[in-house]
Amino acid sequence: MNDIDNSRYEDLDWAESENLIEESTILQLINDSEVEPNLFNTFDWLNNMYERIQEPTTELLSEKLANLSAVTPEYRGKDFDTSDRTIELNEIETLEKQYNKIAEREEWRIPYKKHFRQDNPLEIFLQDISYGSYPPPEVMMMLAKCFSLYLIAEGKLSLEEVFFGRQVKRAGNYSMRKARSSNFKEFHYQVEHNKQFAIKSSTSFNLQDFALDYLRKCEKNETDCPIVDFTEANIESFITSYYRWKKQYLNESKSIIDFKETQNDAIHALISLGYSSSKAKEVVLKQSNQRLTAEEIIKKAIISLLE
């Protein structure tokens, strides 16, 4: 075996060792409040899984997060229990080979990202099935990893949390949030479609006029309407709500790695101001979200500390 082969073998061996403890790593990060429990059902993880399928020695997202969070995980599975057995690199390779025999990956999807019709990888699975298509291996692996995480958590995580994250206060569970979000999805599709038509036909497009016409048609046809009892007087309120929906659901947010690095920057800034490491970490984790900059997180954290 030459040096190149030996180096490749070592890289594969390391990748397998990280793969075997992936769910355990994520569970520990969740327990330490470092990540949300629905990490496997995110586009960040899905893209990382796709890259790992193409090149098995690719660094795992869980490994990067553990390094950033100074977490040293331990294997939690039970080797004699097939329900807890982690899928190994050979099985992942086999999944890809079998998939290539029966289907073809839609390359326009790569890299995977949030779309107004698809909030997360599970919805890609549901869409593929609804069209009679085989989901690609990375999507199937997402399902397997979510259920595996649920099982090794031994009751500490619900399936709702594993797939969709913790419940949002005063916003309900995912199905409730999705139902409210869906009110604007069809409207948004029609807005974009008519904008493109206006460009091609060199005509003007007025959102307020279009919204009023759209809502009147909804009411006349007795189809689901984004709002009820609308009038010309409250059309501006509807458009404001639509822009708020776009900001929340369509705007790009940081990757999980960028977000973790932003949190670390904020924590170190608070420590430099004299706060203890534990206190700085506690308040930053509580006050941060993926759309905030480090400066914004620090400002919110300091306000919280002074209250």
What's the CA gap between 164 and 255, in Å, rounded?
17
Q: Are 274 and 302 in contact (CB under 8 A)?
A: no
For residue 79, is pLDDT > 60? no
Whether residue 25 is predicted with pLDDT greater than 90 in this model: the reply is yes
What's the CA gap between 66 and 49, in Å, rounded? 17
Q: Quote the pLDDT of residue 226.
A: 60
Which of the two residues, 148 and 216, has the higher pLDDT score?
Answer: 148
Bridge partners of residue 115, in order along the sequence: 118
Residue 248 confidence (pLDDT): 72
| pLDDT tier, 178 (very low <50, low <70, confident <90, very high otherwise) | confident
Res 65: pLDDT: 95
Give the residue among 18, 64, 30, 15 at the shortest CA–CA distance from 149.
Answer: 30
Q: pLDDT higher for 181 or 274? A: 274
pLDDT over 90 at 132, yes or no: yes
DSSP string computed for the chain: --HHHHHHHHHHHHHHHHHHTHHHHHHHHHHTTSS-TTGGGSHHHHHHHHHHHH-TTSPPHHHHHHHHHT--------TT-GGGPPPPHHHHHHHHHHHHHH----GGGPSP--BTTBSSHHHHHHHHHHTT-PPPHHHHHHHHHHHHHHHHTTTSS-HHHHHH-SPBTTTBSHHHHHHHHHHHHHHHHHHHHHHHHHHHTT----HHHHHHHHHHHHHHHT---SSSS--GGGHHHHHHHHHHHHHHHTS----HHHHHHHHHHHHHHHHHTT--HHHHHHHHHHH--TTS-HHHHHHHHHHHHH-
Q: 144 pLDDT exceeds 90?
A: yes
The residue written with tokens 């995980």 in the block is 73
Is 80 exceeded by the pLDDT of residue 294?
yes
Q: Over 70: is that where the pLDDT of 84 sits?
A: no
The pLDDT value given to residue 81: 54
The answer, yes or no, to whether residue 190 has pLDDT greater than 70, is yes
Tokens of 44: 């960040």
The pLDDT, as a whole number, for residue 1 is: 53
Proportion of the chain above pLDDT 70, given as a percent: 89
For 225-261, the pLDDT digits (tens) are 666 556 677 788 888 888 887 877 776 677 889 888 9
pLDDT digits (tens, 9 = 90+) for 47-73: 999 999 999 999 999 999 999 998 887
* Residue 298 confidence (pLDDT) above 60: yes
Mean pLDDT, rounded, for 109-130: 88
User: How confident is the model at residue 97, as a pLDDT?
Assistant: 96
CATH: 1.10.3860.10, 1.10.8.10, 1.10.1060.10, 3.30.1330.40. Which one for 256-306?
A: 1.10.8.10
